[in-house]
Structure 1
Amino acid sequence: MAPIPTPPAEPQDSPEGYVGLQAADAERLAQQRGWQVVRSLPPGAVITMEYRVGRLNFEVRGGRVARAWKG
């Protein structure tokens, strides 16, 4: 039987720290801090809710991050 793969560790980073930043600056900073995937979404976007290790989601309003969460 094959071993169960171990997912990569997420950056030790708080999503709340991105709220209020310009979206492009927040994306760049998140990538520098080690997030594998950064997803920017408009308010009310319909998205899947599966949890992906290493992904950071931004809800962007008026060019700024209004909300940020892992997965």
Structure 2
Amino acid sequence: MASLPTPPREPQDSPEDYVGQEAAAAERLARERGWSTVRSLAPGTVITMEYRVGRLNFEVADGRVRRCWKG
């Protein structure tokens, strides 16, 4: 019988640490810390509400992270 797959894990990281940072630097840091997907979104962008393990979302305005959340 095949073993069950190991579910993916998220880095133990605080999204609040990215708020206020320059967007490109924040993305580099997030990838260094182990986030598999980092996406930058303009304020008001319409997105789906599905949760993806390992994804970090940035709301970016004027080149800086204004808001950050997992999933």
Question: Which bracket does the TM-score occupy, shorter chain normalised?
Answer: over 0.9
CA-CA distance at 1:5 after TM superposition: 3.4
Gaps of 5+ in 2: none
Match of 2:15? 15
Gaps of 5+ in 1: none
Distance 2:54 2:8 in 1: 7
Q: How many equivalent residue pairs? A: 71
User: What's the TM-score once normalised by structure 1's chain length?
Assistant: 0.92
Q: Read off the aligned partner of 1:62 and give its amino acid letter.
A: D
Establish whether residue 36 from structure 1 lines up as the match of residue 36 from structure 2.
yes
CA RMSD of aligned residues (A): 1.4
List per-residue Cα deviations over 1:20-54 (Å, max 9, x = no partner): 00000000000000000000000000001100000
Q: Read off the aligned partner of 2:41 and give its amino acid letter.
A: L
Structure 1 4/50 Cα, relative in aligned 2: closer, same or farther at 3 Å? Answer: farther
